[in-house]
Amino acid sequence: MSVLKRLLSDRAASLGAAIILGLVLVAILAPWIAPYPGDVTAFHLADRLQPPSAEHIFGTDRMGSDVFSRLLFGARITISIAVIAVGVSVAIGVPIGLLAGYYGGFPGGFLMRTSDIFLAVPQIVLAIAIAQTLGPSVENVILALSLTYWPFWARLVYAETNALKKQTFVEAALALGASDLRVMVLHILPNTASAIIVRTSIGMGATILTAAALGFLGLGAPAPTPEWGRTISEAREFLPEAWWYAAAPGLAIFLVVMGFNLLGDGLRDILDPKLRKGSR
What are the residues binding other proteins (CB under 8 A)?
12, 117-118, 120-126, 128-130, 132-135, 147, 205, 209, 212-213, 216-219, 229, 232-233, 236, 239-240, 243, 246-247, 249-250, 253-255, 257-258, 261-262, 265, 277-279
Query: Which CB atom, from 103 or from 118, has the smaller least distance to other proteins?
Result: 118
59 close to 244: Cβ distance less than 8 angstroms: yes
Query: Which CB atom, from 159 or from 213, has the smaller least distance to other proteins?
Result: 213
10 close to 263: Cβ distance less than 8 angstroms: no
**Closest to 184 measured CA to CA, from 158, 215, 151, 150:** 158
| DSSP secondary structure code for residue 188 in this structure | I
Backbone φ and ψ for 60, nearest 5 degrees, come out as -125, 165
How far CA 100 is from CA of 1, 97, 108, 165, 230, in Å, comes to: 33, 5, 4, 12, 39
60 three-class SS: strand
Query: Which CB atom, from 94 or from 219, has the smaller least distance to other proteins?
Result: 219
Query: Which CB atom, from 38 or from 135, has the smaller least distance to other proteins?
Result: 135
Identity at 25, one-letter amino acid code:
L
Closest distance to other proteins from the beta carbon of 120 (Å): 5
Distance CA 123, CA 12 (A): 28
Closest distance to other proteins from the beta carbon of 251 (Å): 9
Cβ-based burial of 278 (10 A; exposed 0-12, middle 13-18, buried ≥19): exposed
Q: Give yes or no for a cis peptide into 107 (omega within 30° of 0).
A: no
Query: Which CB atom, from 26 or from 184, has the smaller least distance to other proteins?
Result: 26
Closest distance to other proteins from the beta carbon of 241 (Å): 10
Query: Which CB atom, from 101 or from 151, has the smaller least distance to other proteins?
Result: 151
Closest distance to other proteins from the beta carbon of 174 (Å): 35
Task: Report which secondary-structure segment, H or E, holds 90.
Answer: helix 67-103
Closest distance to other proteins from the beta carbon of 254 (Å): 5
Closest distance to other proteins from the beta carbon of 216 (Å): 5
Backbone φ and ψ for 66, nearest 5 degrees, come out as -75, 120
Given CA atoms 15, 19, 24, 30 in this order, what sign does their dihedral have? positive
Query: Which CB atom, from 138 or from 219, has the smaller least distance to other proteins?
Result: 219
Query: Which CB atom, from 121 or from 193, has the smaller least distance to other proteins?
Result: 121
